[in-house]
Chain A
Amino acid sequence: MDLLTFALLLLVLLCILLGAGLWIAMSLAAVGYIAMVFVHPSPGLFLASSFWEATGSWTLAALPMFVWMGEILFRTKLSEELFNGLAPWVRRIPGGLLHVNILACGIFGSVSGSSAATCATVSKIALPELKRRGYDENVAVGSLATSGTLGILIPPSIIMVVYAVAAEVSIIRVFIAGCIPGLLVMLLFSAYIAIWAMLNPSKQPRAEPRMSLAGKLRASAKLIPCAVLIVVVIGTMFVGWATATEAAAFGVLGALLMAAGWRTGAVLLAADLLAWAFGVIGFSEVWPIAFFALLGLAAGESVLTWQAFLDSVKGATRLSCMIMFILAGAAFLTKAMALTGIPAALAEGVVHLNLGPYGLIAILTVVYVLLGTALDGVSMIVLTTSIVIPLVQQAGFDLVWFGIFIVLLVEIAEITPPVGFNLFVMQTMTGKEQTEVAMASLPFFLMLVLTVVLCTLFPVTLVTGLPDLLLSR
């Protein structure tokens, strides 16, 4: 049996197991076992090592932290405030509050490094609000599932770190290169929503009344705690307090203070000022703590009961458990694939086709979209870089550019069935079936493909120009 047939059979088996209702992490592990039985005497050894390795990683520790931050924020009044704060500015645009999904994911993506965490956090806030206000559920779900992937395109990004390490390029360069494509994706998503809204007037909720500028500003004042939180998370990184991973813990601390309300904030501020007055801390150390105090002060009434705190920890634990268990299953399947040599065979097949640069990128796009149906992003990158990177370099593409290309394809993989993390998250959020969520995401999927095309046609303007400018090559 040749490798391609074998690969096809494995894919069929995966579809059968998933279709039968076997839990996803277990289906992945089962297919991994079947694949490995043919090439290694004891698959169990790899099973154990990949379960350990996939879940035990320092960078991964940011994931439960960002998930927990989202859980706490969900229990604050942030859901209303994010809407009341952003709503006045987009309500007159066709599509109305649906644009808030895109904006909120973009904003949250700039503090989170994970697509699933962004998707879960923003959906948690946005879904019930949109439903309550009568927005079309399909577009709401599709836009949330897809713009959640901004979490890995807008820095910081776990996927970019994995790529930069595997391809030996500068992490900061790849981070900066993601900024413009991130904005472009947001723009395209919003454009789609606006056009869809104009074409489907019957599916729009009643337009909300006009507001004065003063009214808008007053409503947006409620965004201050959220803005401060973002400043805190990004700020702790920029002033050198924390690494990207630790910044996630600062996010949790900030969220806790927001939930703890103005009294805690006032106490903290008083303690901070007293400590300064008595010379315990210097002037420069007053500010960071004052910032955290402001979070509490601006947030208003406390919502953080002991019960709410416990619920947030438990909820974050279960969501993290679900995600990381799938990572474990996927890691085992990935090892099995590496041993069978299927990914390498696929990539080598591409070499023999002798395509031009654009042809190569077109084929790679197809291959990655196919791989992305069944594999997670990290696996996609780790499995293929060794074969693909030399090809891409030979064809004259910049490796930083290729990093953004591959991140965009990982974003696509997040929303293609049967294995797509954002689909899983939205399934849990909405109780909808995976096919429904995937169909709802289809238009946005096409926007991502369009972004890939644009980035390929204008590599310097959209991708490599900004890092070159800021880091003056």
Chain B
Amino acid sequence: QTRWQLASAYPDGNFHTRNLREFCADLDQATGSKLQVQLHGNASLLPMPQIKRGVQTGQVQIGEILLTAYSNEDPFFDADAVPFLVPDFAGARRLAELQRPYIEARLARQGLSLLYTVTWPAAGFYTQVPLTSLDVLKGSRFRTFSPLTNRFAALVGANPVLVQQAELAQAFATGIATAMVTSAQTGVDTSAWDYAKVFTPATFSMTKNAILISRRALEGLPADQQAAVKAMAQKAEDRGWTYAAEAQKASEARLAEKGLTIGTVSPAVMAELKQIGNTMTEEWVQRAGEDGRKLVDALRAA
């Protein structure tokens, strides 16, 4: 009997964590309880920035990360965070498929394998006034948390401010921040109705969580169990994408129910945003090189 540890940083109620719990249960069943995986959610075993290295060192066998958080390591981890690169869930799934071989190759060098990736619901804008034109963002205090969001703020003419997720409510209430971009799910998680007035789903980006496994741990299993892990991972991936779509609808409904105005983007504004997106895609390709060009071309060809 093998006993593994799985580290995740997301809260227990989150759909990613729910999916992981079901993944663990599936594994238990598929291997006749010969492989048991203990889930440590809520960053109770390892905090977010330590999970990938934790799988590498053997602290845990499986870990869940937000891919784009590792953008400083490699631009390919960042592809799904490039604004307006994909328009919808189908596009995001396609990007995930295209991104996968590159990510797998990079992880392999670090002794890691990719089990599956699941998207977050699409990120949209949180503002105090309806997003009728880009002037709303221009000059705003725009909450950024990564090089890419920083760059977006610069291109749209906003002032980037650094605010921790825990301090969002106070920052908005006092005007330290006046706009931000994140998913409806995160808006629900942080009770966005307490601080923002309008949520505009614009499919800014659809970032993904990745579930990593230590290759040594995986290869140490008997062949049938290895196959079970891979099969259950595939199952979890499909399930996770369904959950994400459900979460998007449910969390938008929840924001509306709590009094946020759900805004829409006019075609003119969308065109301007897409323009910025194109600029940033080009910049990303510069960073990612030949492979990056191939990925973007393949995505657009489809």
Interface residues of A (CB under 8 A from B): 40-42, 45-46, 49, 52-53, 58-59, 161, 164-173, 237-245, 335, 338-339, 341, 382-383, 385-386, 389-390, 471
Cβ-closest 5 pairs across A and B: A170-B191, A240-B174, A240-B175, A172-B169, A243-B167
Contact A172 B194 (CB under 8 A): yes
A45-B59, A240-B174 given; A170·B164 CB < 8 A = no
Q: Which residues of chain A have C-beta atoms less than 8 A from B54's C-beta?
A: 45, 49
Once the chains bind, are B38 and A341 in contact (CB under 8 Å)?
Answer: yes
B268 contacts the other chain (CB 8 A): no
Count, A-B residue pairs, CB within 8 A: 90
CA distance A471 to B194 in the complex (A): 7
Is A386 touching B45 in the complex (CB atoms < 8 A)? no
Q: Chain A: which residue is nearest B189 at the CB level?
A: A168
Looking at the complex, which one of B11, B46, B57, B175 makes contact with A166 (CB distance below 8 Å)?
A: B11
A458 to chain B, nearest CB (A): 24
B170 close to A386 (CB less than 8 A): no
Bound state CA distance, A243 and B164, in angstroms? 9
Bound CA span A361–B43, Å:
25
The minimal Cβ–Cβ distance linking A328 to chain B, given in whole angstroms, is 14
Docked complex Cα distance between A338 and B60 (Å): 13
The answer to whether B13 and A237 have CB atoms under 8 Å apart is no
**Is B44 part of the binding interface, using a Cβ–Cβ cutoff of 8 Å?**
yes
- Alpha-carbon gap, A239 to B90, bound state (A): 44
Contacts of B40 in A (CB 8 A): 338
Besides the known contacts A165-B166, A166-B11, 4 further A-B residue pairs in the complex with CB atoms under 8 A apart? A165-B165, A168-B13, A240-B176, A386-B12
Contact of A385 among B42, B165, B189 (CB under 8 A): B42
Query: What are 5 contact pairs spanning A and B, CB under 8 A?
Result: A165-B165, A240-B176, A245-B167, A338-B44, A383-B44
Contacting pair B42 A382 (CB below 8 A) = yes
Chain B count of residues within 8 A CB distance of the other chain:
36
Cβ 8 A contact of B169, one of A166, A170, A242: A170
- The residues of A that contact B87 with a CB separation of less than 8 Å are none
B190 on the A face (CB < 8 A): yes
**Chain A residues within an 8 Å CB radius of B166:** 59, 161, 164-165, 171
* Chain B residues positioned under 8 Å from A40 (CB to CB): 59
Q: Across the interface, which residues of A come within 8 angstroms of B42, CB to CB?
A: 166, 382, 385-386
What B residues does A161 contact at CB under 8 A?
Answer: 166
> Cβ of B47 < 8 Å from any Cβ of A?
yes
A165 to B43, CA, bound (A): 11
Q: What CA separation (Å) do A277 and B5 show in the bound complex?
A: 66
Would you list which residues of chain B between 161 and 210 have a CB under 8 Å from chain A? 163-167, 169-171, 173-176, 189-191, 194-195
Contact: A42 with B191, CB < 8 Å? Answer: no
Chain A residues, CB < 8 A from B11: 165-168
Closest to B192 in A: A170
A241 to B170, CA, bound (A): 11
B10 to chain A, nearest CB (A): 10
Distance in Å from the Cβ of B258 to the closest Cβ of chain A? Answer: 9
Give min CB distance, B183 to chain A, whole Å.
Answer: 14
A243 in contact with B5 (CB, 8 Å) = no
Also in contact, A237 and B38, with CB within 8 A (given A49-B54, A49-B59, A170-B194): no
Q: Contact: B59 with A239, CB < 8 Å?
A: no
- Closest CB-CB distance, A464 to chain B, in whole Å? 14
A244 to B171, CA, bound (A): 9
In the assembled complex, B32 has its CB within 8 A of some CB on chain A: no
Beta-carbon contact of B191 and A173 below 8 Å: yes
Question: Is there contact, CB below 8 Å, between B174 and A238?
Answer: yes
The closest CB in chain A to the CB of B11 belongs to: A168
Determine how close the nearest CB of chain A comes to the CB of B44; give it in whole angstroms.
Answer: 5
| Residue of chain B at shortest CB distance from A43 | B59
Determine the chain A residues whose CB is within 8 A of the CB of B165 once the complex forms. Answer: 165
Q: In the complex, which residues of chain B have a beta carbon less than 8 angstroms from the beta carbon of A167?
A: 11
B139 close to A (CB within 8 Å): no
A458 to B46, CA, bound (A): 37
Q: Is the CB of B174 within 8 A of A239?
A: yes
Q: Cβ of B47: which chain A residues have Cβ within 8 Å of it?
A: 53
B5 touches A339 (CB 8 A): yes
CA distance A46 to B173 in the complex (A): 38
B225 sits at the interface (CB 8 A): no
B50 at the A/B interface (Cβ < 8 Å)? yes
Question: What separation, in Å, do the CA atoms of A190 and B13 have in the docked complex?
Answer: 41
B163 touches A243 (CB 8 A): yes
- B41 close to chain A: CB less than 8 A: yes
Option from A49, A171, A173 in Cβ contact (under 8 Å) with B46? A49
Expressed in whole angstroms, the minimum distance between the Cβ of A313 and any Cβ of chain B is: 26
A366 to B181, CA, bound (A): 43
Per the bound structure, the CA–CA distance linking A338 and B188 in Å amounts to 28
A385 vs B42: C-alpha distance when bound (angstroms): 9
Contact among A46, A58, A165, A241 with B59 in the assembled complex (CB-CB below 8 Å) = A46
A58 and B164 contact, Cβ closer than 8 Å, known pairs A45-B59, A168-B13, A172-B170: yes
